[in-house]
Amino acid sequence: MHRSLIALALATTAITPAFAQADVIGSGVLPSTAAHSQTRPINFATTAPTSGALVILMRNATLPTNVVDAATAQALNAAIASAKFEGKEGSSLSLRGIGNYARILLSGVGEEGDRIAHVRNASGKAAQDLRDEGQPITITGGLNQDEAAAAALGYAMGQYRFDRYKTVDRKTPPTNPVTIISNEAGSAEALWKSRHAALAEGVALSRDLAAEPANVIYPETFVERVRAAFGNTANVKIEVLDEPMMRKLGMGTILGVGQGSRRPSRMMIVEYRGAGDGAPLAMVGKGITFDSGGMSLKPGAGMWEMKSDMSGAASIMGAVLSLAKSKASVNVIGVAALSENMPGGNAQRPGDVVRTMSGKTIEVLNTDAEGRLVMADANEYVVAHKKPAALVNMATLTGAIVSALNDEYAGLFSRDDTLAAAVTAAGATTGEDVWRMPLHKNYLDDMKSDIADIKNVVEGGGPGAGLGATFVGFFVDKNIPWAHIDIAGVNWADRSGPVTPKGASGWGVQLLDALARNWK
């Protein structure tokens, strides 16, 4: 070989190991190290300032007493009459040039229905309407302690933003404080800090996890984010099962889903004990950090949305965070079954047979029905090792539930009427509504496999959401109260709602928080 060629070969050999792509998962370059822009701090007071931006919560067309001075009230009453504003729930009227205020927003809460919920929603909508308002903001309207705390919660959820990847022409939103006015300001602030602030933090955690791209949040980093969120919170125990530990336990279903990815699977168990030694409420969530469909590859259009296929696990972790940080008198266990479903050279194939840690066998007819597989092992693990009083699953499980319920409801499936009623009540209280769907006994017959105990889909259609729920429930002891909530239609908001800016919704955190506090 020519001397120059030998030298080139030696040089290439010397530098190759330092740049070998095989040593790097992903690009090795994070898309950003920035944080989200800051949100407005929330304060409480008994009297309102006479300038800035003012939000007045209105029950009807009559201006609440003592919220503004006489001259401003006269101008507002004239504007209300001219606009025929009636204060109906969800309505609003924006005004400028009145008194010393930069802007006055009249926000209707109505006279009927759940006033707490209406106050929360009106405040969340105001946060979005006033996002770019460069003034301090005041919210008033004759609010008592509970209403003022609800206003703070609504504003906190409504002002959420996910903007850490914006770099071109990025504008920093104003961070002047928002102040909630109430004659019971002290007790309202105590309620906010002891209860509602933690709930807002749990919702934000769920939204952040679901909104992050899959090159940032994958099983290992999901675990890191959740650990950081809990920090040193009292009475919390965190366990994480890695792949060698799951192999030792015989968890073939969660490992099978992740075997086509270079991102190793994890099972994260977060236990909070705030009520002594009683049996806990277990909550198990689907944590597919990206779902390509595996070998049963999804169409390319819209596949990006599968970065949020771990929303069930994210909301469960957000709910446990809320309960723990607010020192709720409950015992709960949150389980995130974490895998990335990719079509790599080692991916499982349609037709493969896998087994769970209990020894039950599954014929995998479609690798895109993977969420139910990871939850099979997670359900069996939490039942065997934690002995829960009841178990609730939450997952973006099926497109069929979207066809049935759109984005107005999540689908509820349960073998236990008492638990189903508790879930329904929690949803009604928090505005995260569920609709109970059937679990017919014939569904299990439809899912019988010719060569294994059960198959993961029924080819040719059928009641997909009910069949998926039946599969998930197959891995839960029939003596344990069990419910499954399919959130495939509600985990992502294509348009803004009262307390939900467009994007990851954090749906389920409030429902699970309320369920845990009231479940007996």
The per-residue pLDDT for range 437-457, each reduced to its tens digit, is 999 999 999 999 999 999 999
What is the average pLDDT across 206-211? Answer: 98
Please tell me the predicted confidence (pLDDT) of residue 23: 76
Please tell me the predicted confidence (pLDDT) of residue 22: 59
> What is the tens place of the pLDDT at every residue in 121-159?
999 999 999 999 999 999 999 999 999 999 999 999 999
Active site residues: 298, 372
Question: Binding site: what residues are annotated?
Answer: 286, 291, 309, 368, 370
What is the average pLDDT across 16-36? Answer: 77
Please tell me the predicted confidence (pLDDT) of residue 520: 78
What is the average pLDDT across 180-186? Answer: 98
N- to C-terminal Cα distance for the chain? Answer: 81
Please give the distance of CA 331 from its chain centroid, rounded to a whole number: 20
Confidence check: pLDDT of 266 > 50 = yes
Query: Any idea which fold 42-185 has?
Result: Leucine Aminopeptidase, subunit E; domain 1 (3.40.220)
Instruction: Return the bridge partners of 392, or none.
Output: 283, 483
Confidence of residue 461 (pLDDT cuts 50, 70, 90): confident
199-518 falls under which CATH superfamily? Answer: Zn peptidases (3.40.630.10)
What is the average pLDDT across 102-121? Answer: 96
Among 162-176, 189-203, 506-520, the range scoring the smallest mean pLDDT is 162-176
What is the average pLDDT across 210-217? Answer: 98
Confidence of residue 18 (pLDDT cuts 50, 70, 90): very low
* 68 Cβ neighbours under 8 A, 6+ residues apart: 48, 54, 56, 76, 99
Confidence of residue 14 (pLDDT cuts 50, 70, 90): very low
Distances (CA, A) of 373 to 83, 186, 195, 378: 56, 49, 35, 9
Confidence check: pLDDT of 21 > 60 = no
Q: Are 376 and 399 in contact (CB under 8 A)?
A: no
Beta strands 178-182 and 101-108 are unpaired
Question: Binding site for Mn(2+): what residues are annotated?
Answer: 286, 291, 309, 368, 370
Please tell me the predicted confidence (pLDDT) of residue 13: 47
466 vs 411: CA distance, rounded Å: 9
498 vs 500: CA distance, rounded Å: 6
The four Cα atoms 268, 477, 371, 254 give a dihedral, to 10 degrees, of 60
> What is the tens place of the pLDDT at every residue in 361-419?
999 999 999 999 999 999 999 999 999 999 999 999 999 999 999 999 999 999 999 99
Residue 39, number of CB atoms within 10 A of its CB: 19
Please tell me the predicted confidence (pLDDT) of residue 172: 86
Q: Given CA atoms 197, 199, 204, 205 in this order, what sign does their dihedral have?
A: positive
pTM of the model: 0.95
Confidence check: pLDDT of 15 > 50 = no
**Which residue in 141, 143, 147, 53 sits closest to 104, CA to CA?**
53
293 vs 340: CA distance, rounded Å: 10
* 338 Cβ neighbours under 8 A, 6+ residues apart: 219, 222, 223, 265, 266, 267, 268, 287, 288, 289, 310, 313, 374
Confidence of residue 12 (pLDDT cuts 50, 70, 90): very low
Burial class (CB in 10 A: 0-12, 13-18, 19+), 322: buried
Q: Please state the domain extents for the chain.
A: 42-185, 199-518
Q: How many Cα atoms occupy the beta-carbon half-sphere of 253 within 13 Å?
A: 32
Q: Mean pLDDT over all residues of the chain?
A: 95
Please tell me the predicted confidence (pLDDT) of residue 3: 52
Phi, psi for 281 (deg, rounded to 5):
-85, 120
> What is the tens place of the pLDDT at every residue in 291-327?
999 999 999 999 999 999 999 999 999 999 999 999 9
Please give the distance of CA 106 from its chain centroid, rounded to a whole number: 30
Q: How many percent of the chain have pLDDT more than 70?
A: 96
